[in-house]
Amino acid sequence: MPTKRENIVAYMGNGTIPPKKLVKVLSEAFTRTNYNVYIASKMLKPFKKDNIHVGHRFDFNELLHGAMAFINHGGQNSIMAGLIYGAPQIMCPGNVFERQYNSLSIERLNAGVHVKVGDFTSEKIGQVVRKFEESSIYENNAKNIGERLVNLGGVSKVVSILEKRYSK
């Protein structure tokens, strides 16, 4: 795994931040920086300009290992992927309760930062990434929580418990 975190990875799904705004905010914040910015959206035509990469999909298994920040909508799959790969998260869940709960939980654990829709600006996102750069607490907490989750056993553990409980 890379030791240097040089990626900004973004996936908002059907979140509250429109894809064009996501590209605008992240381009303003990170164009011509040392970060490679990857924005996944099926609603945009793929392109590359400077260090900004927009595509329908990217291999998050590769990108999140080297992510300084994983910008997402707070959905369960995104949250879990960020933790498993030890990527500090910037979450903007909008008004979806489950996503708000996830986002605020990750923030309480100091593994990421919850951002309100109205605060989703290049200044705010840049400020949060600088916070991640200055303190390893977010990365360390994300890694530790991710390791604990992986050690719980995942799907095979759940299947094993169910088989023991319901087998005759």
**36-88 pLDDT, tens digit each:** 999 999 999 999 999 999 999 999 999 999 999 999 999 999 999 999 999 99
The 3-state DSSP class for residue 7 equals strand
Contact (Cβ atoms closer than 8 angstroms) between residue 89 and residue 25: no
State phi, psi for 47 to the nearest 5 degrees.
Answer: -160, 165
pLDDT at 129 over 90: yes
| Mean per-residue pLDDT over the chain, rounded | 93
Which two structure tokens, joined as six digits, stand for 154? 């995942």
User: Which band of pLDDT confidence, cut at 50, 70 and 90, is reported for residue 2?
Assistant: very low
State phi, psi for 20 to the nearest 5 degrees.
Answer: -65, -35
Which position has the higher pLDDT, 36 or 157? 36
Contact (Cβ atoms closer than 8 angstroms) between residue 116 and residue 93: no
User: Minimal CA–CA distance to 51: which of 65, 67, 39?
Assistant: 39
Q: Is 110 exposed, middle or buried (0-12, 13-18, 19+ CB in 10 A)?
A: middle
| Model pLDDT, residue 168 | 62
Q: Is 99 exposed, middle or buried (0-12, 13-18, 19+ CB in 10 A)?
A: buried
User: Which band of pLDDT confidence, cut at 50, 70 and 90, is reported for residue 160?
Assistant: confident
Which position has the higher pLDDT, 117 or 162? 117
Place of tokens 């979140």: 15
User: Which band of pLDDT confidence, cut at 50, 70 and 90, is reported for residue 166?
Assistant: confident
- 109 vs 124: CA distance, rounded Å: 20
